[in-house]
Amino acid sequence: MTNSSPAYEYLDGTAPGERERLAAVRRYRIVDQPTEPAYARVAFVAGAVFDTPIATVSLVEQDRVWLAACVGLSGVREVGKEPGLCASVIQQDGVYVINNAAVDPRTLAHPLVRGDLGLRFYAAAPIRTHDGHRLGTVNVIDSRPREADPRQLTALEHLAALVADELELRLMVVRSAAAEQRMRDTVL
């Protein structure tokens, strides 16, 4: 069982391993960037698989959640980290499911549950890098309670893995461009 509250924190308030996780989020250089089509497609497919009005690809920063792609929440690119559903998901390896947030003790007081959005159903799979860091989530949201089908949850895990693969490709491109620029600078 994963303990979501660390036994201790560093002086800056971060949990053990959080500095490394945040460095992993930043190395992909996707936060604060325009939506890329690959992530928008993943969010669309997640929403279609679950038939939900909202689906996102998110990255969890130190104090916010950056939406790399979002279907169903026009103009929203980030939300606060606390109290965080995405932040809870990255504390574990498996899919995180809330079938009815109005009665789930984990979410009773959550502003997205009590507020205008009226969140009732939430399912998310963590995006895990090849070196083991959980960067964010692929998630789906609905305003009505429901039960998730095991095949849908497996599809969500596969979509999160596709995002991780896409991030690795992005990193290779960034590193190749930097190496090419260094070579040009050396020649000139």
pLDDT tens-place string over residues 152-178: 999 999 999 999 999 999 888 888 887
d(CA 118, CA 106): 15
Task: Note whether 97 and 123 are within 8 A (CB).
Answer: yes
d(CA 117, CA 107): 13
| Residue partners of 162: CB distance under 8 A and separation at least 6 | 42
d(CA 46, CA 123): 10
pLDDT by residue (tens digit) across 31-69?
A: 999 999 999 999 999 999 999 999 999 999 988 999 999
Domains and CATH numbers, the chain: 18-187 (3.30.450.40)
